[in-house]
């Protein structure tokens, strides 16, 4: 980006010059986020996302893997802490690529439905198929860590390999169990960025000049 600005001169007035045009230039790059705050307590396994397609983020009972249903424990365990992180995002500290985070076992059905329903109900905007212009603070836009694998048994740790953005479309009860659907999208947010990486859809910016 370049711009010009007219500035007032003082010492140059002896040469009959009182103003001058000064050019300013800055450059920034965009890259995948490597560290983020406010993430939602879900993990999604590393994969090639099809942006804009509908995904099921969290399965109901019977759809998980050996006691895990996609939930992660951030800043503690238990339904109350998990529900608070769903609604507000986890802001205890930044989560970075390479961090080992603990899974939250069990379906957490009630806390999941209540937390997601509160996010959906707090959004009064109309959203169509094109989410490229979605407002920055939309409560239905959540940040999710991408993890190496959910091929684990019981409470265990998983490794963060990236971050993605997910737009919540709906939360429903299926045979008495909660399922969350939505779309992965590409989005720029606040966070430390790596200008050389490829990432999973959540990007940050960095001044380089």
Paired with 137 in beta bridges are none
Other C-beta atoms lying within 10 Å of the C-beta of residue 40: 25
65-75 pLDDT, tens digit per residue, is 566 778 899 99
Question: Could you give the C-alpha distances from 164 to 12, 47, 49, 129, in angstroms and in order?
Answer: 54, 11, 9, 19
Question: Could you give the C-alpha distances from 138 to 56, 87, 110, 126, 133, in angstroms and in order?
Answer: 20, 12, 23, 11, 11
Residue 59 confidence class, pLDDT cut points 50, 70, 90: low
- Give yes or no for residue 63 having a pLDDT over 60: no
pLDDT of residue 206: 66
Query: Looking at residues 189-199, what average pLDDT do you find?
Result: 80
Q: Distance between CA atoms of 18 and 58, rounded to whole angstroms?
A: 66
Query: Looking at residues 36-42, what average pLDDT do you find?
Result: 92
- Mean pLDDT, the chain, whole residue set: 83
pTM, whole model, 2 decimals?
0.80
- Give yes or no for residue 62 having a pLDDT over 50: no
Tell me which of 4 and 127 has the higher pLDDT: 127
Residue 190 confidence class, pLDDT cut points 50, 70, 90: confident
- Give yes or no for residue 14 having a pLDDT over 50: yes
């Amino acid at each position: 980006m370049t711009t010009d600005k007219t500035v007032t001169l003082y010492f140059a007035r002896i040469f009959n010059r009182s103003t001058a045009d000064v050019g300013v230039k800055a450059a920034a790059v965009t890259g995948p986020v490597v560290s983020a705050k406010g993430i939602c307590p879900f993990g999604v396994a590393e994969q090639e996302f099809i942006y804009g397609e509908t995904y099921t983020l969290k399965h109901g009972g019977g759809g998980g893997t050996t006691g895990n249903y996609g939930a992660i424990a951030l800043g503690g365990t238990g339904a109350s802490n998990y529900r608070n992180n769903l609604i507000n995002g986890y802001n205890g500290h930044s989560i970075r690529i390479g961090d080992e985070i603990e899974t939250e076992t069990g379906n957490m059905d009630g806390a999941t439905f209540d937390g997601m329903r509160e996010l959906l109900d707090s959004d009064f905007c109309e959203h169509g198929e094109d989410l490229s212009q979605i407002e920055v603070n939309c409560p239905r836009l959540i940040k999710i860590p991408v993890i190496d694998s959910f091929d684990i048994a019981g409470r265990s740790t998983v490794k963060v390999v990236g971050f993605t953005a997910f737009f919540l479309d709906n939360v429903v009860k299926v045979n008495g169990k909660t399922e969350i659907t939505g779309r992965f999208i590409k989005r720029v947010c606040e966070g430390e960025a790596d200008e050389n990486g490829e990432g999973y859809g959540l990007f940050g910016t960095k001044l380089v000049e």
